Structure 1
Amino acid sequence: MPLYSVEGIVLRTREYGERDRLVTLVDRDGTRRTVLAKGVRRPRSSLAAGVQPYTYSRFLLWKGRSLDGVSQVQVLDAHAGLRGSLEALAAAAYVAELAEAFTHEGAPSPGVFPVLLAVLRGLAAAPADRVAQGLWLRHAELRLLDLAGLGIQLEACQDCGRPLVLPQGRGAGGGPPAPAPGEGALPAGYSAEMGGALCRRCRPGRPAALSLDPATWQVLRLAGRLNPQLAARLRPAPATLARAAEVTQTHLVYHLGRPFRSAGILAILDEAAMPPAGPPAPGASAGR
């Protein structure tokens, strides 16, 4: 029986028969593979640790007629930190679902594997850091969209073509008046139909566009080139992160034609983590 070796990250598994599992993984050239792990559900199986979801492993596979199978497996990185919080596991599940959507069974998708590995390592390194989690998720979405040729266009208004800039003399928070003519335009909206950002002048002409303030625009730009150092240093406000997520997920659903189940789980966890609303202000009347 011919054998061959691949390194890959497990996206998910599912039961197959009484003792086996089907393992879906992405290898280093971005090829998605579904392989059979025989006997892995038995106690003390030598394969069990290496086929856990989100684990980076080296697989020795045997060639089958219709389905290849796992002969041996060596764990390279279990991303153990993901088990440190429910939120980190949910984030990893979402990234794995994204990776599956942007890969093809038996055909390479170059660039997907390094994005997936970097994001899982980022999530595992800070399982309790909700801000870093949000940034790494936006990074995954933005980079996978770019690799598929569906990237969110952020550098110029997608209507008039003027370059987009931050307010002069300030950070991403806004404040001073718009730049002088010819020096660029302030971002003000995002249109899925147009494929990216809109300037303040063009935004009113696109009533279906989402609001995109300068702070959110800048977070999206930075998230696209995220690394561990930047993830630890960036501290956007929760509302800014939420608006960035709305933009990327709107873009994904528009261009891929379907929502992601794991994104709904993340939304439930985010809602549960929000502090309860305070009591009404003195003098405020109910129903108004």
Structure 2
Amino acid sequence: MAGYFRDEGIVLKSRDYQETDQLLTILTPRHGKLDAIVKGVRKPKSSLRSGTQQLCRSRFLFYAGKSLATITQCEVQSIYAPLRQDLKRLAYAFYLVEIADSAVMPGQVNPAMYILLKQGLEILAGAPPVLVARAFEARVLKILGLEPRLDRCASCGGDLDGGGRPALSPAAGGILCARCRGREGPEYQVMLGSIKAWQQLNRMNWQHLRRMHLTPNLTRELEEILPAFLEYYLDRKLKSRALINEIGGSENDGTGKDRPATRTPGD
């Protein structure tokens, strides 16, 4: 239905549209993920330019046309300046934005995802980017109703035996007991500490993330298994991970490098 409406939003994507316009993908708390045209924004004197950049949170006035909305006004709330001044943090910010864009369908209203993205970008300015990314991934899975089972076998529901390293399977939806291993696609053998750290990341207050410390082994294992689960359920590769790896995004976090999680045969 045509008409004006207001909402806050975070610009997920921006691409050129016609001669001087741009087409934005915006995540909003009340109107979901939507595409909107910004007319004349590529002109040097456009008043809408500052509030419609990618990775910018603004309050928008939209006009809902027959096919696409048009942005007629915007008021900048945050451009996340600290992230734009640090290449590594900026790469992680794009990663969070890509996850949110992949997890929310066009027109889908998901206020929890909007709040999570807003909080994630805010805390990314001061907390270790690696930990922010892992906490964000874990909470996205929870919001989508895809939180893996980590207390009992995800396949048979039975108790976990104490022998060997736990095995995690995206296809099975969580951890596997010794009897059920090797049945459902790729598995990741990890330390018990990685399971506990995953659970902690999922429930920890964002502000406490700055105080969390992980060993190099745990950091590397979580860096593999959490994105693996997310990419499996989203059914797509997250391209921003390549940028993070290219700039050495997991280094210089006080964690160092170490051996990654071990995949079992069948991957």
* TM surpasses 0.5: yes
Over aligned residues, Cα RMSD in angstroms? 2.7
Change (3 A) 1:191 1:3: same
Check if 1:213 corresponds to 2:194: no
Equivalent positions of 1:1-288 (< 5 A) are: 2-29=3-30, 31-126=32-127, 132-162=128-158, 188-199=166-177, 201-202=178-179, 208-270=186-248, 273=251
TM-score w.r.t. length of structure 1: 0.78
Report which structure shows greater RCO (CA 8 Å, sep ≥6): 2
Deviation at 1:273, TM superposition (A): 4.1
Deviation at 1:223, TM superposition (A): 1.3
Would you say the 8 A contact 2:244–2:250 is kept in 1? no
Would you say the 8 A contact 2:220–2:257 is kept in 1? no
Would you say the 8 A contact 1:192–1:250 is kept in 2? yes
Change (3 A) 1:230 1:242: same
Identity of aligned residues (%): 30
Give me the whole-angstrom Cα distance separating, in 2, the residues matched to 1:13 and 1:29: 20
| Structure 1, unpaired ranges of 5+ | 127-131, 166-177, 179-184, 278-288
Amino acid corresponding to residue 228 of structure 1 in structure 2? W
Deviation at 1:202, TM superposition (A): 4.5
Deviation at 1:205, TM superposition (A): 5.0
Give me the whole-angstrom Cα distance separating, in 2, the residues matched to 1:211 and 1:120: 31
What is the SS of the residue equivalent to 1:224?
A: helix
Would you say the 8 A contact 2:216–2:257 is kept in 1? no
Greater Cα offset, 261-270 or 68-77 = 261-270
Deviation at 1:113, TM superposition (A): 0.7
Q: Which has the larger radius of gyration?
A: 1
Q: How many aligned positions are there?
A: 253
Give me the whole-angstrom Cα distance separating, in 1, the residues matched to 2:36 and 2:188: 42
Deviation at 1:47, TM superposition (A): 0.9
Amino acid corresponding to residue 149 of structure 1 in structure 2? G
